[in-house]
Amino acid sequence: MRIALFLAALSAAAASAATCESLAGLKLPDTTITVAQEVAAAANTPAYCRVAATLKPSTDSDIKIEVWLPTTTWHEKFVANGNGGWSGSITPQTLAAAVRRGYATAMTDTGHQGGSGSFALGHPEKLTDFAYRAVHEMTVKSKAVIAAYYGKPAKLSYWNGCSSGGKQGLKEAQRFPDDFDGIVAGAPANYWTHLTAQSVWTVEAAKADPAGDIPAAKAQAIHKAVLAACDALDGVKDNLIENPTRCHFDPQSLLCKAADAPDCLTALQVETAKKVLGGPMNPRTKQQIFPGFEPGSEQGWPQTFQMAGGLGGDHFKYVVFKDANWDLKSLNYDSDIAQADRIDDGQINATDPNLAPFFKHGGKLLMYHGWADPLIPSQNSIDYVKSVQGKLGNVDDSLRLFMAPGVGHCAGGDGPSTFDMLGALEQWVEQKHAPESILASHSSAGAVDRTRPLCAYPNQAVYKGSGSIDDAQNFDCKVR
C-alpha cells in the first residue's frame, strides 16, 4: 500500500511544476520537509531552490537530506553525491558545484552526525541507514522532489562519490541497480570489514612501538628513495611511478649504517615500512586480508598513521565487539576478521561482483583510484574489477577503471589529480562514447604545469619519445 501511495504521489507531483515554497507541503512516505526556500544567485552559483528533509524509514532513523534544484539552468539531469569516512555531514560546496553544472543534486548525512562510528553502538537501524538505506531513500525521495518542482522527472540520474562515496556507488549498483544510469566510484571503501582491519594494522605497525614510528621527514626520505629506484621504469623520469606494481622497493636498503639519521631508517622503522607496504596477513592461513600501500604513497603515511585508527578502530569497537572500551591492540587477524565478515554479511561491504542487473539496463560504472593513495590501497579497486570480470566476463562496455599515477586519496599528491570523471561518464551514457583516456592536470601556484592522460586499466600512459613530458598529447595509452 505504501509503495502504491508513493507512486501515486510521484505521478501527481510530475503533472505540473511547483513553486519552491510549495514543496514544503509535498507529502512523501516517511518524510518531513523542513526547508523549501529560494536561494538567490551568488558568486558563480546560479539561483536554486533548496529543499531539506528528514527521512524516517525506521523508528530509529533520522536521515537528513538536502536537494538543490537550479531555478533556470536545469539540464534535466540529477546527480547524487557521496560521503567520506563514517560520513555524518552534508557539504554545501559539493552541492553548489553540481548546481553550477546544471544538475539537480542531493546529499545525505547517512543518518547521523559527526565522523565517528560511535552512532552504531546500540542502534542497528542507524547502522543499516549508514550501510545503504540512507543513500537509496535519499535517491528515491530526491527524484520525487525533482519531479514535483519541474513538473517532470529527471531524464538521467548519476552518482558521484569517492572513498565511502565510492563504496556507496558500488552498493547502489549492486543492491539498487535501477537507481542510477551512471556511477562514478572513486577509491571505494567497498571491502569495509577488511579495509578497517588494514587501517588498524597500519596504525599498529607505526604506533605499537614509538621507536618504530615514521615521521614526516623520514617518510619523505623513503619517497625519495622509491622514486630513485622506480621512477624511470616507465621510460620517463618525471617524479611519478606510472605502475607501482612493477616497483620492487625494499625498505631494508635505507637501514642506517651507523647512528640514526634523517635520511635513513632504524631497524624498527624498516619493519614498520615493510608492514605498511605488505598489508595485513592472516597469521594462520597466510592469506592476504587486504592489500598494502603501493610504493609512491609514502608522503601520506604520517597523516594516515594519525587518522586511520578512527576509521578501523571504530568499526571493531562499535560494530563488531560493541564495546566502547575495546583496544585495537587486541585485534586478532584471524578469528576477529572472520567474525567481522559474519556480522556484516554484506550489509556495509559492497563486494558483490554481480553487476549484471545494473549493466542490463545500460548502467555505466566508471571507477578511478590514485596509485599513491595512502588511505585505501589502490590494489583494492583492481581486485574488485577483476572479481566482476571473473563473474561476468568482458565488461568493457559497462565498466572502466582509471588508475592515476602519483595521486593520493581521491585527489592531491604529485600526480595530475584534476580530472572530470563525471563529464566522461556523461559522454559514455549519453553519447555512447566509452572513455579510453581522461585528461588530467596538475597545477602549481594556480597554474597548470602538467597534463597527462589517465588510461583505462590495464593500459597506462606511454611516452611517445619526443616533446614535453608535461604535455598529454605526447603520450599514448598502451599496455606496457
242 grid coordinates: 606510472
Contacts 24+ apart (CB under 8 A), 239-242: 239/406, 239/414, 240/296, 240/405, 240/406, 240/414, 240/415, 241/294, 241/295, 241/296, 241/371, 241/372, 241/405, 241/406, 242/405, 242/460, 242/461, 242/480
2 grid coordinates: 505504501
Q: Is 207 exposed, middle or buried (0-12, 13-18, 19+ CB in 10 A)?
A: middle
User: What residues contact 373, with CB distance under 8 A and at least 6 apart?
Assistant: 187, 293, 294, 297, 300, 407, 408, 409, 410
What Rg value do the Cα atoms of the chain yield, rounded?
23
Within the chain, which residues score under 50 in pLDDT?
1, 3-5, 7-8, 12-14
- Calpha distance 270→277 (Å, rounded): 11
The predicted pLDDT at position 191 comes to: 98
Q: Residue 257: count other Cβ atoms within 10 Å of its Cβ.
A: 6
Q: Is 75 exposed, middle or buried (0-12, 13-18, 19+ CB in 10 A)?
A: middle
What are the phi and psi torsion angles at 475 (to 5°)?
A: -130, 145
H or E element at residue 54: strand 48-55
- Calpha distance 67→26 (Å, rounded): 13
Closest CA to 271 of 329, 204, 336: 204
474 grid coordinates: 605526447
Q: Is the pTM of this model over 0.85?
A: yes
Closest CA to 13 of 139, 105, 104, 147: 147
Q: Spell out a b/e string for 194-205, using b for 16 or more CB atoms within 10 Å of the CB, else e.
A: bbbbbbbbbbbb
- Spatial contact of 147 and 14, defined as CB atoms under 8 Å apart: yes
The predicted pLDDT at position 3 comes to: 46
The predicted pLDDT at position 7 comes to: 46
The one-character DSSP state at 293 is: P
- Calpha distance 231→226 (Å, rounded): 8
The predicted pLDDT at position 308 comes to: 67
Residue type, 428: W
- CB-hemisphere CA count at 13 Å for 322? 8
H or E element at residue 184: strand 182-186
Tell me the catalytic residues.
163, 373, 409
The predicted pLDDT at position 17 comes to: 84
The predicted pLDDT at position 311 comes to: 83
Query: Which CA distances in Å does 309 have to 237, 245, 340, 361, 435?
Result: 35, 26, 16, 40, 37
Closest CA to 367 of 357, 315, 355: 355
The one-character DSSP state at 255 is: B
- Calpha distance 123→310 (Å, rounded): 19
Q: Spell out a b/e string for 24-47, using b for 16 or more CB atoms within 10 Å of the CB, else e.
A: eebebbbbebeebeebeeeeebbb
280 grid coordinates: 595485513
The DSSP bridge pattern shows strands 48-55 and 31-39 to be antiparallel
The predicted pLDDT at position 43 comes to: 86
The predicted pLDDT at position 16 comes to: 66
Q: How far is CA 157 from the centre of its chain?
A: 18
- Calpha distance 228→296 (Å, rounded): 11
Query: Which CA distances in Å does 108 have to 90, 153, 175, 382, 421?
Result: 6, 20, 18, 28, 21
